[in-house]
Amino acid sequence: MKVDMELCLRCGACVGTCNDTAIRLYESGIVFHMDICVRCGSCMLVCPVGAISEEVGV
């Protein structure tokens, strides 16, 4: 998954919605732990501004 940081409002909706805690908010920014991610797609849909998309080729 990747975040378009120009759209991202840092609201944390994706973090709270990820049931596998694969998305974590660190001081440095949002990090997707792809080893945990099950590709359910919830984060893409919950993002109010559509900043999250699936990284092509991953």
Q: Which residues bind other proteins (CB under 8 A)?
A: 9, 11-17, 19, 21, 24-27, 42, 44-50, 52-53
Least spacing, CB of residue 56 vs other proteins, in Å: 15
Least spacing, CB of residue 43 vs other proteins, in Å: 10
Least spacing, CB of residue 4 vs other proteins, in Å: 11
**Cβ-count burial 14-51 (b if 16+ within 10 Å, e if not):** bbeebeeebbeeeeeebebeeeeeeeeebbeeebeeeb
